[in-house]
Amino acid sequence: MDDRTRTEIEAAAFRALREHLLEARPEVQNIDLMNLAGFCRNCLSRWMQEAAEERGVPLSKDEAREMFYGMPYPEWVARNQTEATAEQKAAFEVAYAQNVGPREG
């Protein structure tokens, strides 16, 4: 398989994952994804931002999130996310540290 075809297949798989997480399963909470899988929708948007930066394309955190979510992030949260429980928040702190690194602030 040539590099271009591989890249196109990878991009199609990413689009399918994005569609699944945003359209087929929006009720799945980001915090639960992070706690169980070590990544969430926000991680995917951050990875897009990092990939853009590696290629010299400026993309802010908010721009990357809007690009991923298809709308401003606060709007998507209001439509789809619920308040996390104390247990979810505690598990998130562990998952975040293990998968992303120490939290700032």
The segments of the chain whose pLDDT lies below 70 read 104-105
pLDDT the model gives residue 105:
56
DSSP structure class, residue 21: I
pLDDT the model gives residue 96:
86
pLDDT the model gives residue 35:
93
pLDDT the model gives residue 95:
86
CA distance 97 to 62: 22
Which residues are within 8 A (CB) of 66 and not within 5 positions of it... i.e. 6 or more apart? 72, 73
Q: Domain ranges in the chain?
A: 3-99
The H-or-E segment that residue 32 falls in is: helix 30-37
CA distance 76 to 80: 6
> pLDDT tens, 13-39?
999 999 999 999 999 999 999 999 999
Architecture of domain 3-99: Orthogonal Bundle (1.10)
